[in-house]
Amino acid sequence: MTTGNGRNAAVLRRPGRFAVPSGYIPVLVTACLFAAMFAAGGVRYEGFATGQIILNVFIDNAFLLVVAVGMTFVILTGGIDLSVGAVVALSTMVSASLLSGPGWPAPAVIVLVLAIGATLGLGMGAIIHYFEVQPFIVTLAGMFLARGLCYTIGTDSIPITDPTFTAIAQARIDLPGGTWISLSVVIALVVVLAAAYTLHYTRLGRGVYAVGGGEQSALLMGLPVAKIKISVYAISGLCSALGGLLLSFYMLSGYGLHAVGMELDAIAAVVIGGTLLTGGSGYLLGTVLGVLVLGLIQTIISFEGTLSSWWTKIFIGLLLFAFILLQRLIAGRKK
């Protein structure tokens, strides 16, 4: 008997057996993978199996988590955003140049950077929908535009010495057991919670899943497809700009070569977290787990000490192949 509604709830129940909704399977696999990697690291490396190691993964990847949240919205509609890494770099350059040059106050810089990111995303979303251009092409153009703007501001790294940015960068929030997190982690988790609420408890969120499940069907249902598609790219641009601010706090500098390839890391985190590239199915919890898996791979390689950092890309590539195959298998079972 088939129970539930939609692609995520489709499941085949047999008498006497517990059935897991097929949409949850990739998330569960990612959670088990993270647990297995953490356990293996604890067995192999002394001092690895501690709470601070997990918190350090959050600290070192807070900016990527925020960017991946925005990417999740886009991929859920069946789109893609290749501009996020360049927008992150542009955000760091705008922040650093305005803080060190004209001496703008930090709150004004933060508001301006977020507005730039949202506006870029809004523009790309409008072009994608109204001119019916493939998201790959439009966001690729956006990537070149944002990266080029970085170099019009400057070709060298610009240090950030603003007291507000420095204070945020150095702030520590103490937790029980002698552990701690940065303020950037708190900001990233707030973004995750707000995004999860939006996706699961608002009309926009339900519309995102509906458009990803089938744009023509969503139109026949009377959903505002144009508003939804443009909104997700604006959200992605906003998250990219916020990720750039968090990277500015982390690096205390602006540089045109910051975040090179981050768009691929964000896509990888979303896919490893179980969101279908074709759209319509996925959870933000999976995206969080995907970011943690990527961060834990980097941590394990650092603990090993004998492996090049390029092994990170190799392992991520293998994981992507495995999860794409898993998605195909699940899709095949639904049919």
pLDDT value for 333: 63
CB 290 within 8 A of CB 270: yes
The confidence band for 199, taking pLDDT boundaries of 50, 70 and 90, is: very high
- Whole-angstrom distance, CA of residue 254 vs CA of residue 248: 7
CB 315 within 8 A of CB 303: no
CB 49 within 8 A of CB 108: no
CB-based burial label for 100 (10 Å; 0-12, 13-18, 19+):
middle
- Whole-angstrom distance, CA of residue 72 vs CA of residue 284: 7
- Whole-angstrom distance, CA of residue 90 vs CA of residue 243: 11
pLDDT value for 334: 60
Percent of the chain topping pLDDT 90: 79
pLDDT digits (tens, 9 = 90+) for 260-306: 999 999 999 999 999 998 899 899 999 999 999 999 999 999 998 87
Query: How would you classify the pairing of strands 172-175 and 253-254?
Result: unpaired
pLDDT value for 25: 86
pLDDT digits (tens, 9 = 90+) for 128-185: 999 999 999 999 999 999 999 999 999 999 999 999 999 999 999 999 989 999 999 9
**Domain coordinates in residue numbering, the chain:** 57-259
Return the structure tokens found at 22: 């097929």
The DSSP output letter for 221 is: T
The count of residues in the chain is 335
> Cβ of 157: how many Cβ atoms within 10 Å?
15
| DSSP string of 96-120, one letter each residue | HHHHHTT---HHHHHHHHHHHHHHH
Using the predicted structure, report yes or no on whether residue 323 has a pLDDT greater than 80: yes
| DSSP string of 34-52, one letter each residue | HHHHHHHHHHHSTT-SSHH
pLDDT value for 335: 57
pTM equals 0.92
CB 229 within 8 A of CB 178: no
Closest CA to 96 of 148, 143, 155: 155
Q: Average pLDDT in the 71-86 region? A: 97
